[in-house]
A and B are shown apart, each in its own frame.
Chain A
Amino acid sequence: MPSKFEELVERANARWAELADSGKLWIRVQGGTSGQAAGSDEVMASVKEAVESSGVDANITPVSAIGLMYLEPIVDVQMPGEPRVLYGNVTPELATEIVDKHVKNGEPVAERAFAYWGDRSKRPGTLPHIEDIDAFGKQTRIVTKNFGSTNPHSLLHYIANGGYSALNKALNEQTPEGIVDEVKASGLRGRGGAAFPTGLKWSFLAPNTAPVKYVLCNCEEGDPGAFNDKGILENDPHMLIEGLIINGYATNSTHGYVFIRQGHEIPIEATRKAIRDAYDAGLLGENILGSGFSFEMEVSLTGDSYVAGEETALMEAIEGKRSTPRFKPPFPAAAGLWQKPTNINNVKTISYVPSIDTNSAEWFKSTGTEGSTGTAIVCLSGHIKHPGMYEVAMGMTIRQVLEDIGGGVTGGDHIKVLQTGGPLGGVLGSEAFDVAIDFDEMSKAGAILGSGGIIVGNETTDVVDLIRSLIAFTQFESCGKCFPCRLGNTHMLEVLDRMCKNESRAGDLDLLEKVGTNMKVGSLCGHGQLGYNPVSSALQYFGDEFKQRIEGSLEPSGPFEDGSMILPTRTRP
C-alpha cells in the first residue's frame, strides 16, 4: 500500500503532467508584489481575454516571479514539446499581440521576447537561452529554484517539483538530533542579519522537555530595499512551511508562527492558503503523514512597527502587545513567547532547510565560502539597470553582483554609494565594492549583509541627504522604550536637517558622535545600538562631503531647493 506521501506525490505528478505534457499550450504569467507594481494584474486579464476570444485551448497559470524585476511584467509561452519563450515588459496590448501571433499561429513575437528556457537544440531563432543571460545565469538558485516556474498557490506544483520529500524523509528516516547535527554541519547561519549559526540555535531549544514549545519565523521585513522574505512567501510559501515543520520536528516543538506585517496582502494570502492546503493534505496538524509527530502553524499579523522585527519585540507583538524589546536574559530558548521555550529564525534561513536535508550538509557547503556557506539572496534597487531579487553564491564580490547581475549604474556613469543591510546597516563607498558577499568579510569592511537589500546610488546622490532620509526612518520607527534611542534619533535628525539646509553649527559632528555613542550604550536593542551606523559609516566613506556641507561651500542638499525634505507626521505617543 502506498504511503500517504506517495499518494500525494502521485497526485502532484499527475497534475503537473496535465500542464506540462498534455499537448496543450501553457501560458505562465508571473505575479507577486513587484509584478503587480509593474502591471501584471492588467496583463493577466488581457491574456485571459485574448485567449478566450481566440478559441485556443490553453492552460493559463499565475506563477511566481523569477526575480528579474526590471523585465516585469513577464509572460512565458510554451508550445507543446517546445522550449518556453519569455516575454518581458509586457503591456496589455503586447499580451494581446502575443496571443494573436504566438499562441494562435505558433510564431513567437521574437523582437519582444528576451529568452527561451529548455532544450537548447530547439532554440527559437536567435533568442538567448535564459542561462546565458548574466542576471539569471550567474545566480545559484537553491531557495529560489522554483521561482518563475510554479504556481505559489498550488501545493501540488510544489510537491511535483520535489517539495515535502525532505519532510517525509525527516519524519521517517531521521531523528530530531540527526537533523540538528545536519544543519550544524551545513554551516548555515541566520539570514536575518545576525548571522548566528542556525544548528547551534536549534540545539539550545531541542533538549528542553517543556510540553509546549514554539518556533517562530520572522517575516516582519521592515527594511526598505529588502523584499526577499516577502518574496519567498509570495513566490514559494511551501518551501518556508516545509522548513518550519522540519525546524519544529528537529527541536521537538509544538507550534509554529509565521510573523508578517499587515497590509502586504500578496505574501499574507499566499502563506495563509499554503498553510490551509498543508493542513488539508495531512502535512500539518495531528500525526503528520502518519509519523506520530504533531505540529500546528498559523500566520500572525503585526501592525506597522519596524522594531517588531527584533526577536523579543516580535514575541510581544504575537502576544498582542506593543512591540517593544524585552530585557535579556532570559533568552528565548528558555523563556520566549508566552514565557515558553522558543526559537526564532528568519524566512530565508528556514527556507534553506528542505534543500539541506534532501541533499546533505556537504552539498550545501560546496557552495559559498568556508565561514559563509550557501547562497545570499540579494535585492537590488535604486540607480541600477537590473533591479530585482537574485540568489548568488556567497563569496561573489559586491562589484560582480552590481555589474554582472545588476548590469551597472543608471542615470549617471558610476556608482557612488551603496546602502546595505537595511537602514541600520549604513552605507558603503566604492573602496568597499570589491569585498566579497560573506558575513565575515563584510563585517571586517564595516558593512552588514543583513537582510540582503542593496540600494544603489549613482554620482548624483547627495550622501548627507540620503543619511538624513535613513535617520528620518529610524527616528520615525524608534519604539520609544529607551530614551537614548527615542531622543537620540530625533536629535540626529535635527542636526542632519540643518546640515542639508546649510545651517550647520560649530561642533555638529562632535554632537552627532556624542549622541550616537549614548544610543549605542544606552539602548536595549539593535535599533538604538546600531542607530549611529548610518552616520558613522557615511563619515568613514564620505567625510569630505560632510565637511564641505558644514563649511557651507555646497548648495543646500536634498530634493528641494531650500534643502528641506518632507518628514513623517504620525508619531508614537
Chain B
Amino acid sequence: MTTATSDTAAKLRERIRHAISSQQQPTVTVLSSLLAVQDALHYIPDEAIEEVADHSKTSINEVWSVASFYTNFRFTPPGKVTLDVCWGPSCHLLGAQQILKAVQGELGVEEEATSKDGSVTLRYSTCLGACANAPVIAVDHHMKGRVTVESAAKLAASLRKAGSD
C-alpha cells in the first residue's frame, strides 16, 4: 500500500468516526449511526460497517443485517447529485412513469443507476410527501413539483451537464 492510499484510508476512517460520534440525539443505535454516516459520506463504505460494529459493540454481521434492510442505504459513492423521481400512486396517475423513462433517457441509464460520467444518480422514490403538487421529483432532497416529461428531462440534462463540467 502506498502512503497516499493509506492516508486516504485513515482519513475515511476519521470521517466515519466523526459522523458516528457527533450525533446529537441521546439515543445512539446501529441504525442511527448508519444514517449519520450516510448523511456525511452519502454512502456506507465497508469501513463504516466495521466502525459502527465497533462503536455499538456488536458484530459486523448484525450491522450488515440492518444496513441491507433499509433501502435508502447505498454501498458505493453516488454521483455528484441524486435525483429522486417519485413513482407513488398520485404521481403515477399524473404521468410519473413517462417522466422516469424520459429521465433515464437523458441520463443514459436503464434502471436506478448513476450516469456513466458520474454526474447524476437516479433513484425511484415510493413517496416524496408533496403529493398535492404531483408529479414530484427531488434534487438532493430539494422538492420540485408539478413537473412534466419535458421539464424533468430538461432538469436531468442540465444536472448532467453541470456535473460533467
Q: Which residues in A have some Cβ–Cβ distance to B below 8 Å?
A: 33-34, 36-38, 41, 69-70, 72, 221-227, 230, 257, 262-265, 272, 296, 298-306, 317-323, 379-383, 387-389, 419, 423, 453, 455, 457, 461, 466, 469-470, 472-473, 476-477, 479, 558-560, 565-566, 568-570, 572-573
Contact call A455/B89, Cβ cutoff below 8 A: yes
- Given contacts A318-B27, A470-B89, are A565 and B111 in contact (CB under 8 A)? no
* Shortest distance between the CB of A390 and any CB in chain B (Å): 10
What is the count of residue pairs linking A and B with beta-carbon distances less than 8 angstroms? 184
CA distance A134 to B59 in the complex (A): 58
- Given contacts A466-B92, A559-B97, A566-B97, are A303 and B34 in contact (CB under 8 A)? yes
Query: Which A residues touch B24, using CB under 8 A?
Result: 272
Query: Which A residues touch B95, using CB under 8 A?
Result: 559
* Shortest distance between the CB of A556 and any CB in chain B (Å): 14
CB < 8 Å neighbour of B72 from A222, A304, A389, A455 = A304
Query: Which A residues touch B145, using CB under 8 A?
Result: 34, 37-38
CB < 8 Å neighbour of A33 from B98, B111, B130 = B130
Interface segment among B11-19, B61-69, B157-165: the answer is B61-69
CB < 8 Å neighbour of B26 from A224, A298, A472 = A298
Chain B CB within 10 Å — which of A34, A265, A477 has the most? Answer: A34
Contact call A302/B97, Cβ cutoff below 8 A: no
CA distance A303 to B66 in the complex (A): 10
| B154 beta carbon closer than 8 Å to chain A | no
Dominant SS among interface residues on chain A: mixed
CA distance A423 to B126 in the complex (A): 11
Query: Which A residues touch B8, using CB under 8 A?
Result: none
CA distance A265 to B130 in the complex (A): 13
Query: Which B residues touch A36, using CB under 8 A?
Result: 130, 142-143
User: Can you list 17 A-B contacts with CB-CB less than 8 angstroms, sorted by A residue number?
Assistant: A33-B129, A33-B130, A37-B146, A69-B132, A222-B126, A225-B89, A263-B141, A302-B70, A303-B71, A317-B31, A320-B32, A387-B134, A470-B89, A559-B95, A565-B97, A569-B112, A570-B71
- Given contacts A36-B143, A37-B146, A419-B89, are A477 and B126 in contact (CB under 8 A)? yes
Contact call B132/A227, Cβ cutoff below 8 A: yes
User: What 0/1 readout, one digit per residue, does chain B (73-108) give for beta carbons within 8 Å of chain A?
Assistant: 100000000000011111111110110110010000
CA distance A461 to B89 in the complex (A): 11
Query: Which A residues touch B146, using CB under 8 A?
Result: 37-38
| B136 beta carbon closer than 8 Å to chain A | yes
Query: Which A residues touch B27, using CB under 8 A?
Result: 257, 298, 300, 318
CB < 8 Å neighbour of A225 from B73, B88, B100, B101 = B88
Contact call A224/B30, Cβ cutoff below 8 A: no
Contact call A559/B89, Cβ cutoff below 8 A: no
| B25 beta carbon closer than 8 Å to chain A | yes
Query: Which B residues touch A381, using CB under 8 A?
Result: 90, 131-132, 134
Contact call A299/B25, Cβ cutoff below 8 A: yes
Query: Which B residues touch A383, using CB under 8 A?
Result: 93-94
Give B143's nearest chain A residue, CB to CB.
Answer: A37
| B144 beta carbon closer than 8 Å to chain A | yes
| B153 beta carbon closer than 8 Å to chain A | no
| The 5 nearest A-B residue pairs measured at CB | A320-B29, A303-B70, A37-B145, A224-B88, A559-B97
Inter-chain pairs besides A566-B87, A566-B100, 9 sampled, C-beta below 8 Å: A37-B136, A224-B86, A263-B141, A299-B25, A320-B31, A379-B131, A387-B131, A476-B71, A566-B111
Contact call A301/B126, Cβ cutoff below 8 A: no
| B155 beta carbon closer than 8 Å to chain A | no
Chain A CB within 10 Å — which of B88, B98, B128 has the most? Answer: B88
Contact call A323/B132, Cβ cutoff below 8 A: no
Contact call B93/A72, Cβ cutoff below 8 A: no
Contact call A469/B68, Cβ cutoff below 8 A: no
